[in-house]
Structures are given as C-alpha cells and as structure tokens.
Amino acid sequence: MKLLEVRDLSFSYDKMLVLKHIGFSLEAGAIYSILGSNGAGKSTLLGCLEGGLTPQKGSVMIDGGDLTRLSPGERARKIGFVAQSQTLPFDFLVRDYLVLGRAPHIGTFKTPGAGEYRIVDEVMAEMNIEYLASKSILRISGGERQQVQIARALVQEPRLILMDEPANHLDYGNQIKILKLIIDLAKRGIAVVLTTHVPDHAMLLGGKTGILDREGYLTTGETEKIITEENLKLIYQTELRMAYMEPVNRMVCAACNIR
C-alpha cells in the first residue's frame, strides 16, 4: 500500500484553476521535492495534502484512507506540516511550545507528562537546538524559529512531513543541516514532501522531484532525470547550466555569468 496517493487533484481560487489534474504517489521513506516559480501553486498543493484546503476535484489518500474522512487529530498523527511562516499569538518558551506538538497523542484537556517532554528533548538534541529550550519563541531569530517549527513537526511523530521551503531564512550551514535531517528522516521510514526554489537542494536530496509549471500541471520523475537545463529554464525563465563538479562528485546547477 502506498503511504500517499494523490489522484487527479484540481484546486481553484475564485473559480480560477490553480492546480490541474495533479497525480503522484509515495512510499514510506520517500523524498519528494517540488520546484516551481513564484505563484505556481506549490504552497497551495501542500495545503491540499495537509487537509487545510479542499480540492475542487480529486482525492488525497493517506495510508489507503481518504484524507477528508480523517478528524484533525487523526490527520495530525499521520501528517506533520512546516509552513513558511507561523502566526504566534501567544508567547511560549521553546520547550513548552514544542510539547504542544504532542497534543494529538495525549488527547484533549490532558496535561503533557514526562514522556512527552522526553520526546521533545530528544528532538531538540537531534537538531542541536537545546540552547533554545528556555528562550521565548517570540524573541529568537527567524532562522531559529524555522528550526523550531521543523522540530515541532518531528515531535508529532508523523508518517509524512510536508515542508514549505524549509531552508528559507536559514544560513548556508543550517540549510545543509536541514537537508541532512530530511535524508535521515527518510532512512527512518518517514516520507518528506518539500517545496524549494533551490534546484541544488533537490539534487542533494535525490529521490523524486515534481515540476509545477505556470499552468498548474505537475510533472514527476526521478530527480537526476527531471532536473535538466531545459526544465529549469521553463521554471525560472533564465539561463542555468548543469555541470559535473569533480571536487564534490556530483552534478550541480549554476547560473550563467550575469555581468
């Protein structure tokens, strides 16, 4: 059984189709990167996969069940979602904020116990963000807050994690750390779907890549086959080159000289 199946999904805003006949499937432990220009509908697609947006037609199946038939708690036990930005109306210490991610597992009106905080501490240690534990979530940097949002998704212990530009706001070192974390999650059997504007990130992750074009159609393939100079030019409307770089033993994507 596939972990995630998207069947003929279409979505519209104000009768204007944004996504058209989207279809793909993923096994447990898969990595799926989505590339596309600004406004192509990448975040909208993640919203449909998470259940926050309702497709005009088609379906999203998780573990063989229709996503629309799951309660919010059931969805949260299966799917973690890392949005580009989060509105935080209340102040929390980071450790207390993270333990809120355990809510789907402990039930309504129940207090988190030592077991929930142990999971939080393990995730913070895994991500090397223990130093944030007693800091206000409203008073840390944008990059630190992004890492906290990813940690909260991990605390949920979902089978699928959706990440909307997870490396956004991060310095280069932390971008690579997040990519390594995604690969580690896949090795543990957690599927990851992410959007990115950086083709090189998709190439580093491998797996599958989907290219969402300006008309709302998604083309899926093995990453090393679908990320081509021709496809990148269609996405970004600029000249990019693919080249093998011997010192790092892989293909890279580079911009042409702009001077």
Secondary structure of 79-144 as H, E, C letters: EEEECCCCCCCCCCEHHHHHHHHHHHHHCCCCCCCHHHHHHHHHHHHHCCCHHHCCCEHHHCCHHH
- Torsion, Cα of 107, 189, 206, 32 (10° steps): -40
The CATH number assigned to the domain with range 4-226 reads 3.40.50.300
- DSSP line for 61-83: EETTEEGGGS-HHHHHHHEEEE-
- Helices marked H in 198-255: 199-205, 223-226, 229-236
d(CA 191, CA 30): 5
Closest CA to 180 of 213, 220, 156, 147: 147
**pLDDT value for 109:** 67
Number of C-beta neighbours around residue 249 at 10 A? 7
Q: What is the pLDDT of residue 54?
A: 93
Residues in a beta bridge with 221: 209
Q: Quote the Cα angle for 9-10-14, to 5°.
A: 155
Regions of the chain with pLDDT less than 50: none
Question: For residue 156, what pLDDT is reported?
Answer: 95
